[in-house]
Amino acid sequence: MELPLKLMYIFMKIGAFTLGGGFAMIPLIQNEIVDKNKMIDEKEFLNMIALAQSVPGPMAVNMAAFVGYKLAGIPGAVFSTVGAVLPSFIIIIVVAAFFLMIKDAPLVQRAFMGIRPAVVALIVYSVVRLVKSNDVKGYAFIIPVLACLGIVFLNMHPVLVIVLAAAAGLIFFRGKSGEKGKSVDE
């Protein structure tokens, strides 16, 4: 099998079984790319994770594009990314078509009256985990407080808040970058 196609197949498998997205798929990628196919070594893989989580976008897509590009250039990146996205795409289309058909059924509406508050809880919990795992302490506590003030009182756009926070990070944490080299294992 040609390499880009093989990569597409590997990332399709990974995409199809990554429930919850994000870091859930790291062990799967590692198993396929590092352990089974020996395409990239362990150390390089860890570096790639660190980098993939420092750029915008979903981890799954970033890792697919990164691994694909490393191994087979632009065609590799394209095929890997398409592979990673395709399972979600197909599943969601099927689910959406079905959901849009049944969403007005009373039973479905009642079920979703229970689901919506639970989703809120899931999101809140992810925030708690985010705070715990990413040293939001010391100076860094000022950032969410200021961000809240900016959103509520100045009606700032989320993108502006993110840009300002990035600037604040650069200013606050000058000279602290060495100690933060551990972010690979987050």
Partner 1 sequence: MRFLFELMMSFFKIGAFTLGGGYAMVPLIQEEVVENKGWIDETEFLNIIAIAQSAPGPIAINTAVFTGYKLRGITGAVFATLGAVLPSFLIIIVVATFFLSIKDSSVIKRAFMGIRPAVVALIVYSVVKMLKSNGVKGLALLIPLLSCMGIVLLNLHPILIIILAAISGIAMTTAKKAEIEE
Interacting positions 100-139 with partner 1 (CB under 8 A) = 100, 103, 107, 110-127, 130-131, 134-136
Q: What angle do CA 74, 75, 81 make, to 5 degrees?
A: 90
State the Cα–Cα distance between residues 121 and 116, nearest whole angstrom: 9
Q: Contact between 5 and partner 1 (CB under 8 A)?
A: no
Q: Contact between 169 and partner 1 (CB under 8 A)?
A: yes
Q: Which two tokens stand for residue 8?
A: 């597409």
- Choosing from 58, 72, 75, 79, the residue that interacts with partner 1 (CB under 8 A) is 58
- Choosing from 3, 5, 9, 16, the residue that interacts with partner 1 (CB under 8 A) is 16
Q: How many residues bind partner 1 (CB under 8 A)?
A: 97
The answer to whether 59 and 22 are in contact (CB under 8 A) is yes
> Which residues, 6+ apart, have CB-to-CB distance to 26 below 8 Å?
49, 59, 63
Q: Binders of partner 1 among 21-50, rule CB under 8 A?
A: 21-23, 47, 50
- Choosing from 29, 62, 72, 83, the residue that interacts with partner 1 (CB under 8 A) is 62
Q: What angle do CA 178, 23, 117 make, to 5 degrees?
A: 120
**Options 2-10, 30-38, 68-76: segment touching partner 1 (CB under 8 A):** 68-76
